[in-house]
A and B are shown apart, each in its own frame.
Chain A
Amino acid sequence: QSTLVVAEHNNDTLTPITLNAISAANKLGSDVSCLVAGTNCAKVVEQLSKVQGVKKVLVAQHELYKGLLPEELTPLILATQKQFNFTHICAGASAFGKNLLPRVAAKLDVAPISDIIEIKSPDTFVRTIYAGNALSTVKCHESVKVFTVRGTSFEPATIEGGSASSEEVATSAPAGLSEWLEQTLSKSDRPDLASAKVVVSGGRGLKSGDNFKLLYALADKLNAAVGASRAAVDAGYVPNDMQVGQTGKIVAPELYIAVGISGAIQHLAGMKDSKIIVAINKDPEAPIFQVADYGLVADLFKVVPELTEAINKS
């Protein structure tokens, strides 16, 4: 038995969810190799070789892998699979992993399993369905198990103490079907939403994008990331990459503060594994209070500045 984790990175640093995927891979009880494909990824290879539980780092460096396009990465992974015969191939359930692994699985003629939250045994996985309203335990009878890993369900592997060897793998022939043009990433000094310890999220109750500045002020006091409900994104208050929920990001911080969010099941799907949930909403009947540890029925425009101020003092 052996497992391949496809690393996600930006050539300079490893994306944190790869560490969660590595620790999921380690739960399978077999050797773990990581594949790093990129244009100039020596730094990432170095980082990965220190990660506990990684035995081998496979490296493919070429201009072809600019933008990590699935059309180019898939033949590379298939060739690597042919060479090493992994029993499991996985990646984080991020936009990258979700885009890539189904393509790989289809080429192997196996059914992939998305966004797993638990590994029962090397062929049995638990995942959520219906926006987290049911848990499905799935046994996979495929020869190769291909899956993506929900980051919040597995502790990240530590980047120390490991001593993986690295090995170059042959570059695949270009597919030439797609071209990466550019990325526009939201610039923020706040922590990354998916891995932040504290998240402050706003919903339609904020009434405008401008009013989100109330949340930014609070977030900065708490060193928190700022998220939003789909309603707030649909209303155009904030960009989609801030969306928490079934169709957005799944978060599970130590503290989640939901402000002006009613708590549709689609939103709860993205945050109900948070350790402590605080809800601020003027509607006492809002469903968010059914999952909140601490609920404050109040006008957010009054109490959010008060809360920011109170934290200032403490």
Chain B
Amino acid sequence: MSARVLVGVKRVIDYAVKIRVKPDHTGVVTDGVKHSMNPFCEIAVEEAVKLKEKKLVKEVVAVSCGPQQAQGKEIDLQIISNKRMTVGFILQETIRTALAMGADRGIHVEVSGKDYETLGPLQVSKILAALAKKEEANLIILGKQAIDDDCNQTGQMTAALLDWPQGTFASEVTMDRDMLKVVREIDGGLETIKIKMPAVLTADLRLNTPRYATLPNIMKAKKKKITTVKPGDLGVDVSSRLEVLNVEEPPQRLAGVKVETVDDLVGKLKEAGKI
């Protein structure tokens, strides 16, 4: 099989970080905050690498959009308690993580300043669609959503722009020549569809368990190639017609009372008219 897979990887604030809203209400605090690869993107990378290991695809290309040098100081490798390597702070390190997991090469789409602040799923979809054509990819695998903006749009929109079918929220993918059988997570259970390649897949949680990048693979990844392109080179206009007016903290829910026994609890719930 001669398929080439593009995998989108997004650098986001680490899932374990407590989010703080900026005092001027323009966004959330990102400076000096630990960043990682979006967890759903890790699953997407894993799926692509698995397809390559099964020799169903020939090349896996990791793509990420962002500034050349993200703010904050450079930290090369952090080893945290569970022995998992995380690489943070510099966007290219997100691509390196994908390379360390087994992607063959990387593409860094350089978007900076104001454009980066307003970069949304529509613009990223246009970039991915243009790259898919340029790279002659026939499969794009993305995470179903990013845990920062929680949009859940990029895969669907990339598929639309290319007029490709979409296998979103995938929990199982089987490739049979140019057909993909996709089991999808839907509200009441699972759904199975068959789509024609070229296609876009978005990964749900149960698609696989992403591997940890091992130290030897991290070293190897340093030798893999990352090329840089600008949206303009791809003919993509990244201006946005969405304007964030205000970002604020949600109303805080106050802790109530501790009850000592089941009877106390039942009493309280009866008082509240809930049982």
Contacts and interface: CB of A to CB of B under 8 A. Distances in A.
A278 B106 CA distance: 48
Contact of B275 (A69, A94, A222): A222
B189 A102 contact: no
B245 A124 contact: yes
A292 interface: yes
A218 B41 CA distance: 38
B121 A102 contact: yes
B208 interface: no
B7 interface: no
A296 B205 contact: no
Interface stretch (B81-89, B131-139, B263-271): B263-271
Given A71-B166, A137-B245, A278-B269, A103 B19 contact: no
Given A70-B166, A310-B266, A103 B147 contact: no
Interface in B224-275: 240-250, 253, 255-263, 265-266, 268-270, 272, 274-275
B242 A249 contact: no
A137 B196 contact: no
Given A111-B121, A141-B241, A133 B161 contact: no
Interface in A224-269: 230, 233-234, 239-241, 246-247, 249, 254-255, 265-266
Interface stretch (A27-35, A57-65, A180-188, A203-211): A180-188
Given A138-B242, A294-B256, A294-B257, A276 B159 contact: no
A98 B184 CA distance: 13
B92 interface: no
Given A294-B265, A295-B257, A255 B274 contact: yes
A291 interface: yes
B263 A310 contact: yes
A133 B241 contact: no
Contacts of A277: 253, 256
A303 B260 CA distance: 11
A311 interface: yes
B161 A131 contact: no
A85 interface: no
Contact of A294 (B122, B152, B195, B269): B269
Given A95-B185, A129-B149, A241-B186, A136 B160 contact: no
Interface in B91-144: 120-122, 125, 144
Contacts of A133: 18-19, 28, 249-250
Interface in B41-85: none
A115 B194 CA distance: 27
Contacts of A255: 269, 274-275
A190 to B, nearest CB: 12
Interface string B160-176: 11011110110100000
Contact of B189 (A178, A241, A278): A241
A272 B256 contact: no
A135 B243 CA distance: 14
Interface string A189-215: 000101000100000000000000000
Contacts, number: 255
Nearest to B158: A106
Contact of B256 (A100, A180, A266, A293): A293
A124 B190 CA distance: 34
A107 B21 contact: no
A42 interface: no
Given A103-B160, A194-B187, A132 B250 contact: yes
Contacts of A106: 122, 125, 156-158, 160-161
Contact of B159 (A103, A234, A266, A303): A103
Interface of A: 67, 69-71, 74, 94-96, 98-107, 109-115, 124, 128-142, 175, 177-186, 192, 194, 198, 222, 230, 233-234, 239-241, 246-247, 249, 254-255, 265-266, 272, 275-278, 289-297, 303, 306-307, 310-311, 314
19 contacts: A70-B166, A95-B187, A98-B156, A105-B157, A110-B122, A111-B242, A129-B148, A129-B150, A135-B248, A178-B165, A183-B192, A184-B191, A186-B188, A222-B275, A249-B187, A254-B274, A291-B253, A295-B255, A306-B262
Interface of B: 13, 15, 18-19, 21, 28, 40, 120-122, 125, 144-145, 147-154, 156-161, 163-166, 168-169, 171, 181, 184-196, 199, 204-206, 240-250, 253, 255-263, 265-266, 268-270, 272, 274-275
The 10 closest A-B pairs by CB, nearest first: A293-B256, A106-B157, A106-B160, A102-B156, A177-B165, A102-B153, A133-B19, A185-B189, A185-B188, A141-B241
